[in-house]
Structure 1
Amino acid sequence: MTTTIARHDLSAGPDTERLADGLDEDLIEEIDDLETTAVLIDSAFSSARLSLSARCVADPRASAIETWESTVNALQLGSALFAVTGVQDGSVECRINRKLRTIPATGPMSTADAGTWLSAFWLAVICRDQDRMTQLSEIPLERLRSPEGSYDEYIYRWVDTLQSWWLRRPDLADKLIATIEASDPAVARIAPQDLLQAVLYPPINLFYHYVRNDRDGFAPALADALKLHKTYWTLNEDRAKDIDGSIALGPLAIACLAYDAEFPLDIESDYLPKHLLQRTWIGEFPT
């Protein structure tokens, strides 16, 4: 039997579509400017994620090509951010918004950190872009450490776990267990507890079920993750209106892995846009 987890009301309709169109127009200008200067590439990546969220409000099943374009733009900008911050001099060629662009190198930026890396990696997984997954996984962990100490240690263990899994490095099980232990609310002190428990930890739990090939336990864990996501984003009026809550990016990415591995996923939810989960648009145009 299929379990349906309804998304909280984000008032999809003409106003939301106009908002998404406006955000896309602004984003295209930001993308075009990158060929002159890349210092605001982190801002462009944030804009791309916001545009994707708006598209998913208006098009919760991701059945429109515009939603796929927003997903791909976010993927490309996230990967480009780490590409241009990984070199000091010269330029980097990146495909963004259907065009190969030559973007000046910036050298290290504080925003090219572990939290941003996770968003970029989730997008690469959702888009089934194995080349970008590899490029992101080859980034040295120390390069992703925030100089301000703005993250709990678990996030670096989590990145290390995902990189080790994708590159087939040893000790994956030990690293995943260390990640789970470090993300315990009694250990993690920086992330707000509600954010940690409802948004940040569920993808770790889902990945645990996935790598253990727990085909019976994955769907219930996914349902729990979506319910926690909904609880977090409806805790107060401001959150309930925030379009960032329109999709559960981390759970969606792990669900894509499970879907591709033919796990039974008897769950429907607009937090997991159907056509992103089921890779409907893959191959529509070069990513």
Structure 2
Amino acid sequence: MNSKEKEIALASIISRHPFPVMGNAEAGLAMLQEDVERRLEKAETNGALLGDVLGTTLRIAGGRSLLDPQASIFPTWDAWVTAMQVGSAVFATATTTEDHVVCRIAHKDRTFPATGGHRHVNPGTWLTAFYLAAACRERERLTALCKVPVSLLRENGSAFPEYYYIWIDTLQTYWQGGTGLGDKLVAAINATDPETVADPVPVQHLIYPPMEMLHRILRDDREGFGRALTNAVEWHKRYWSHESRETQLAGAVAIAPLAMACFAHDAGFPIEVESEYLPAALIGRNWCGEFPT
């Protein structure tokens, strides 16, 4: 490994950075939920709008997690499930061979037209959808996402660095039990070398950490995984606590480390890091199976 492996001392509790006091938070979240319903109705005639809906559902999930850091109450779980459903629907509509697809979102079966590739069918959205499906333990959705061709993610012309595509190929290979996984993971890690990437800060703080976590899972290195998880959460905190980002709901939960922690938990790894960035009920599968998703 390179200099990115410099470790932060293992800590069992990592507090979330301060967010501004949310006045009437429930009212604000209710307004966002109404916006989601309006957008979903429009998406039933223009499936590409699902990408915009995803952003709003993620804000709701982040807001819910500020109020309920452990995801111990149903509305928080429901918010994460809805975001997961929308993320998966973006790619279901993009890859269907039919003229429409039925997706369950927010407790309703909804019909969306096929879209093919569009601006939201990109590596960033795919990773978000994958991490959400992992956190919600949606095996069928994970498998469907892993059948999305990496070539499709390149088609819309978005300027994503190559390491995104290598990492996605690695995750698809991991989930599907494909060959060459080790080489692909090494290639993904090497592609994020801070000395070669254009913008090393988000890469070191957000992109690389889940790669290191997966590396430890594959090696069945439980102690190393604990250190990698600690590093990942600390780096997430450092990135999102910067004064230019500290109020953004995207920083409320460390979604990529959360997904890797869920994989590790299900493989029997002890999860010894406690943090508001890692909703404990999601890691522990507490809500899985409570209602049809």
TM-score category, normalised to shorter length:
over 0.9
Coordinate RMSD, CA, aligned = 1.7
Output aligned runs, 1:211-226, within 5 Å: 211-226=218-233
Aligned match of 2:3: none
AA of the residue aligned to 1:253: A
Structure 1 stretches of 4+ moved >3 Å: 11-14, 146-149
Encode CA deviations 1:267-286: one digit per residue, 9 max, x unaligned.
11000011111111101111
Separation in 2, partners of 1:212, 1:16: 43
What is the percent sequence identity of the aligned residues?
39
Separation in 2, partners of 1:67, 1:176: 33
Q: Quick check: 2:122–2:158 contact (8 Å CA) kept in 1?
A: no
Aligned match of 2:269: 263
Separation in 2, partners of 1:21, 1:59: 16
Output aligned runs, 1:95-110, within 5 Å: 95-110=104-119
Aligned match of 2:120: 111
SS in 1 for 2:24: helix
Cα pair distance change 1:12/1:285, threshold 3 Å: farther
TM norm structure 2: 0.92
Aligned match of 1:6: 15
Output aligned runs, 1:190-269, within 5 Å: 192-236=199-243, 238-269=244-275
Tell me the CA shift for residue 59 of structure 1.
1.3
Separation in 2, partners of 1:145, 1:10: 36
Output aligned runs, 1:126-205, within 5 Å: 126-145=135-154, 147-189=156-198, 192-205=199-212
Encode CA deviations 1:55-90: one digit per residue, 9 max, x unaligned.
111211111211111111111111111111124761
Aligned match of 1:74: 83
Separation in 2, partners of 1:108, 1:151: 15
AA of the residue aligned to 2:223: D
Aligned match of 1:272: 278
Q: Quick check: 1:12–1:57 contact (8 Å CA) kept in 2?
A: no
Tell me the CA shift for residue 244 of structure 1.
1.1
Tell me the CA shift for residue 2 of structure 1.
7.2
Tell me the CA shift for residue 12 of structure 1.
5.6
> Unaligned 5+ residue runs, structure 1?
none
Tell me the CA shift for residue 197 of structure 1.
0.8
- Number of equivalent positions: 284
1:285 to 271, 286, 291: 291
TM norm structure 1: 0.94
Q: Quick check: 2:48–2:120 contact (8 Å CA) kept in 1?
A: no
Output aligned runs, 1:30-109, within 5 Å: 30-87=39-96, 90-109=99-118
2:25 to 16, 20, 26: 16
